[in-house]
Each structure stands twice: as C-alpha cells, then as structure tokens.
Amino acid sequence: MKLFFNVASPYARRVIVTAHEKGLIDRIEMREIDPWSDPAELHAATPVGKVPALVTDDGVLITESALIGEYLDSAGDGPSLLGPDAVSTRVRAALAQGLIDAAFAIVIEGRRPADRQWPDWVDRQRRAIDRLLPRFVVQEGRFDLGDIALASGLGYLDFRLPEIGWRAAHPGLGDWLDGVNRRPSMIATVPR
C-alpha cells in the first residue's frame, strides 16, 4: 500500500493513527507530500489532488479519510475499530469530521490575502465548532474510528487554532484528549 499524506493534515492523521492501531503501518509506503504545490506524483495517483490518498496493494485508489480508515480497519489485525455498534461509531466519526472540516476551513481562510478573507465565513465555522464540542461524549477505554476522528480534530484545534481555547469550556474533552495522546499511535502522529 502507498499513502500520500501531509503531516499537518488532521485528515491524514485519522488514517495514520488507524494504520498504527491496526498494526499496518509497516506495510504502508508513506509518501509525505505538500498537496498545495500540485505535485505530479500525487496527481498521477489521484486526480482529486488531496491528501490523504491510499493506493492499495491491488492498485485501487481510496480517498477520503473515513473510507480509508474503514478499509484499513478491515485489512488490519485485531478487533474492529467500528466497535460493536458500527452505526453509532460512524455517526460520531461524521460529527468529528464536521469539527475537522470547520477548523480546516478557518485555517485555509486565514491563508488568503487579508482583503479577500470572508470574516462571516470564519464566524460561521467557529459557530459550528462551538455547537459541535458539547455534542461529543467520550468513553474511557474506547478508542474506535469515532474516537480517532475526534482526537484528530481536537488535536488540530490545539495545533492550528489555540486561540479558540476550547479546553477551558470543555475540560472533560481536554482530559480525554490528554489521555489518548499518550497512545503510541497518537504520539507517532503529532503534527508539526
């Protein structure tokens, strides 16, 4: 397998944490890439031009972090990361995806020239984050695909948007993230 990724991407982090958790990381050729530079190697693998992108051993291209995660879950060892209630896990993962999407949109908007930024768009994404955070209910001892997505999203907030200060308003989530950040899969994927 070959994975195109960027180390700062919360989408890629979801996938790489899953690969670690499923014991697959040594079977994946890791191709760190800057998707914003439009690299030919990435475009040859995926016309979408986004990371993460996984090319399976059979040459099948899988994009979108949630789909890649489910593929790796099915291909790896150990219990399923979908857990006993796959629907509930997918629902939690989708909410966490919304958190990641909103945070990423804020970061990207901040990279536009100041006179072309849309403050109303940033405010809308910030309100989405504020609505999402209280919805997350974590469970000690569980670390499934929903939790991986949430940990990746919260970690991205800490990494790129510390000014949001989400930990003060949600100390339980902060404590949970501090705990899961001690997992080897999370340590190995800290964004830089």
Residue 26 belongs to domain with CATH number: 3.40.30.10
Verify that 16 and 52 share a domain, yes or no: yes
Is residue 192 pLDDT above 90, yes or no?
Answer: no
* Residue 80 forms part of a structural domain: no
**Angle of the 65-75 helix axis to the 10-21 helix axis, nearest 10:** 10
**Together in a domain, 69 and 90:** no
Helices (H), the chain: 10-21, 40-45, 65-75, 86-110, 119-132, 145-160, 166-169, 171-180, 184-187
192 in a domain, yes or no? no
Say what the pLDDT of residue 62 is: 98
End residue of a domain, out of 75, 108, 129: 75
3-state secondary structure of 57: coil
46-to-61, 172, 181 alpha-carbon distances in Å:
7, 39, 31
CB-CB neighbours of 84 under 10 Å: 9
Is the pLDDT at 66 greater than 90, yes or no?
yes
Is residue 41, in this structure, part of any structural domain at all? yes
The CATH number that applies at residue 99 is: 1.20.1050.10
Residues 97 and 178 in one domain: yes
Domain carrying residue 19: 2-75
Total domains in the fold of the chain: 2
- Looking at the fold, whether 20 and 42 belong to one and the same domain comes out as yes
pLDDT in tens, 123-146: 999 999 999 999 999 999 999 999
Kindly state whether residues 95 and 183 are assigned to the same domain. Answer: yes
The pTM score is 0.97
As given in the structure block, the two tokens for residue 13 are 């982090």
* Residue that finishes a domain, picked among 20, 46, 75: 75
Choosing from 46, 75, 104, the residue where a domain stops is: 75
CB 150 within 8 A of CB 138: yes
Mean pLDDT of 36-41: 94
Cα separation, 45 vs 55, whole angstroms: 7
What count of other Cβ atoms lies within 10 Å of the Cβ of residue 100? 24
Buried (b) or exposed (e) across 42-66, using 16+ Cβ within 10 A?
A: beebbeeebbbbbbeeeeeebbbbb
Quick one: average pLDDT of 90-112?
98
What rounded mean pLDDT belongs to the chain?
97
Q: Based on the fold, state whether residues 91 and 143 are members of the same structural domain.
A: yes
CA-based nearest residue to 15, from 100, 142, 86, 116:
100
Q: What are phi and psi of 45, to 5 degrees?
A: -85, -40
List, for residues 46-55, the tens digit of each pLDDT value.
999 999 999 9
- Whether 47 maps to a domain, the answer reads yes
The owner of tokens 């989400």 is 166
In a domain, 175, yes or no: yes
pLDDT, one tens digit per residue, over 73-90 is 999 999 999 999 999 999
- Provide, rounded to the nearest whole percent, the portion of the chain with pLDDT above 70: 100
Tokens of 135: 């919805």
